[in-house]
């Protein structure tokens, strides 16, 4: 393999704490078992090391990052070092004084996650009454001259409201709207049969989105992300394992992908014990699925292998039990039948033939379930 590239992205998942309880949350189901959060100084050290390695994008997410009171400090240091700083927040806790301080610290960009436009559906899926608050927050970020960038996770219960979601984004003066179907990781995986929309729902949502795009032109850009299971096309996981992206968990584990901590058979490198460059360049975790040399036979002989590197490792593991398998989302995977089974099961849940109530994310449930995904 050619020379290992340096990371471009540092994602700091600063906390697993969150006031919301999204059933599609991609955090690990066993997040309540995680160790103590990194301190401010420990984060600052991670930020400095990543910048020295050449990373230029710094993302802060969680959980809900605003539950920590040192976000302003982390942003300030990252910005001073030349990072482009992105905050990914549900908006809960983003008060005016804190926003003013973040602006002062040099925060470049805010992405607001917004669950749904209709109050009922929003509350159903986040299990709290946060809708009005989000409207307030969008107005506030605008007042501080941030472009309004909204991310809304789609799933079976809200996808039929996609027209309302777009309308609401327009009313708020959003410049960008990302309509991303649930990624089936963590809690999203646990709930996937209840969250998966039907092919018909998807087609409808895409058609509505298309109409709005034509109408809105440059005023608001809309990105529509289809769910993996319905695509038959594996995605290049993190743009290449260990090539671009470096994620650090609240308790200090460095990962090539923010969901990788449930993969078995790894010793996850700890930023408290090792320096970041050694982790990135030398650890087994970062090297195991780097490039294409490790690919299983199905992929090795495939002309698309440079395009997708065999798909998502976490998905391969969650579905087949083997993290080194071809992503079963791929039609060429011998285990593609697992996807068909999941789609069938989801249809049965939608029709009410099978009852699968949503499991909402919270620490108590996390401890009770005793599972990683």
Smallest gap, in angstroms, from Cβ of residue 58 to another protein? 10
147 binds, among another protein, ligand SF4, none (CB under 5 to 8 A by kind): another protein
Binders of ligand SF4 in range 103-122 (CB under 6 A): 113
Q: Quick one: DSSP state of residue 327?
A: P
Report the run of H or E that residue 10 belongs to, with start and end. strand 9-13
Residues 232-261 that bind ligand SF4 (CB under 6 A): 234
Class of residue 129 by CB neighbours under 10 A (exposed 0-12, middle 13-18, buried 19+): exposed
Which residue lies nearer to another protein by CB, 86 or 209?
86
CA 207 vs. chain centroid, Å, equals 25
Q: What is the closest distance, in whole angstroms, from the C-beta atom of residue 220 to another protein in the complex?
A: 13
Residues 233, 216: Cα–Cα separation, whole Å: 29
- Which partner from the list another protein, ligand SF4, none does 91 bind, CB cut-off 5 to 8 Å by kind? none
Work out whether 310 is an interface residue with ligand SF4 (CB under 6 A): yes
Q: How many CB atoms are located within 10 Å of the residue 318 CB?
A: 22
Shortest Cβ 147–another protein spacing (Å): 6
Q: Is residue 298 at the binding interface for ligand SF4, with CB under 6 A as the rule?
A: yes
The yes or no reply on residue 337 touching another protein (CB under 8 A) is no
Count of residues binding another protein (CB under 8 A)? 16
Q: Report the half-sphere exposure of 163 (CA within 13 A, side-chain side).
A: 7
Decide which of ligand SF4, another protein, none touches 310; Cβ closer than 5 to 8 Å per partner kind: ligand SF4
Among 305, 336, 356, 359, binds ligand SF4 (CB under 6 A): 305
Site for ligand SF4 in 53-92 (CB under 6 A): 62-64, 90
Write the DSSP string, 120-181. Answer: HHHHHHH-S--HHHHHHHHHHHHHTT---EEEEEE-TTTGGGHHHHHHHHHHTT-SEEEEEE
CB of 22 to ligand SF4, least distance (A): 3
Q: Which residues within the stretch 173-192 sit at the binding site for another protein (CB under 8 A)? A: none
User: Binding pattern to another protein, positions 42-71, x when CB under 8 A?
Assistant: -----------xx-xx-x------------
Q: How far is CA 106 from CA 65, 95, 110, 201, 303, in A?
A: 17, 17, 12, 41, 44
Strand partners, 59: 11, 86
332 binds ligand SF4 (CB under 6 A): yes
Which strand (E) or helix (H) includes residue 268? Answer: none
Q: Give the Cα separation of 151 and 183 in Å (integer).
A: 13
- Closer by beta carbon to ligand SF4, 21 or else 261: 21
Write out the H or E segment, with its range, that includes residue 58: strand 57-61
* Distance of alpha carbon 333 from alpha carbon 26, whole angstroms: 24
Nearer of residues 111 and 259 to another protein, judged by Cβ: 111
Size of the site for ligand SF4 (CB under 6 A): 25
User: Please, are residues 192 and 155 in contact by the beta-carbon 8 Å criterion?
Assistant: no
Main-chain dihedrals φ then ψ at residue 157, nearest 5 degrees:
-85, -15
According to CB under 8 A, which residues from 131 to 170 bind another protein? 145, 147, 149
Binding-site ranges for ligand SF4 (CB under 6 A): 18, 20-22, 25, 27, 62-64, 90, 113, 234, 298-299, 302, 304-305, 308, 310-311, 326-327, 330, 332, 361
Binding-site ranges for another protein (CB under 8 A): 6, 8, 53-54, 56-57, 59, 82, 84, 86, 108-109, 111, 145, 147, 149
């Amino acid at each position: 393999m050619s020379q290992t590239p340096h990371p471009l992205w540092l994602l700091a998942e600063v906390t697993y704490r969150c006031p919301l309880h999204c059933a599609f949350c991609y955090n690990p189901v066993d997040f309540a078992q995680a160790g103590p959060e990194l301190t401010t100084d420990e984060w600052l050290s991670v930020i400095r090391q990543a910048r020295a390695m050449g990373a230029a994008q710094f993302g802060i997410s969680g959980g809900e990052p605003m539950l920590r009171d040192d976000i302003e400090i982390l942003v300030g240091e990252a910005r001073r070092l030349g990072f482009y700083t992105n905050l990914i927040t549900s908006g809960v806790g983003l008060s005016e004084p804190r926003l003013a301080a973040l602006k002062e610290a040099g925060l470049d960009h805010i992405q607001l996650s917004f669950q749904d436009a209709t109050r009922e559906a929003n509350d159903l899926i986040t299990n709290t009454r946060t809708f009005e608050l989000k409207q307030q927050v969008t107005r506030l970020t605008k007042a501080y001259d941030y472009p309004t960038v909204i991310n809304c996770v789609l799933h079976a219960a809200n996808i039929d409201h996609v027209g309302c979601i777009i309308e609401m984004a327009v009313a708020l003066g959003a410049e960008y709207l990302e309509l991303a179907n649930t990624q089936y990781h963590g809690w999203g995986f646990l709930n996937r049969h209840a969250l998966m929309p039907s092919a018909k729902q998807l087609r409808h949502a895409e058609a509505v989105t298309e109409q709005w795009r034509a109408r809105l032109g440059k005023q608001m850009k809309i990105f529509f992300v289809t769910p993996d299971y319905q695509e038959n096309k594996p995605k290049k996981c993190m743009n290449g394992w260990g090539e671009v992206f470096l994620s650090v968990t609240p308790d200090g584990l460095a990962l090539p992908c923010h969901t990788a901590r449930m993969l078995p058979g790894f010793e996850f490198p700890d930023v408290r014990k090792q320096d970041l460059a050694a982790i990135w360049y030398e650890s087994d975790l970062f090297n195991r699925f780097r490039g294409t040399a490790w690919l299983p036979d199905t992929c090795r002989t495939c002309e698309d292998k440079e395009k997708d590197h065999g798909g998502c490792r976490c998905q391969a593991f969650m579905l087949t039990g083997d993290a080194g398998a071809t992503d079963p989302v791929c039609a060429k995977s011998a285990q593609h039948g697992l996807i068909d089974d999941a789609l069938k099961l989801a249809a049965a849940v939608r029709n009410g033939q099978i009852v699968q109530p949503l499991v909402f994310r919270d620490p108590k449930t996390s401890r009770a379930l005793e599972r990683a995904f």
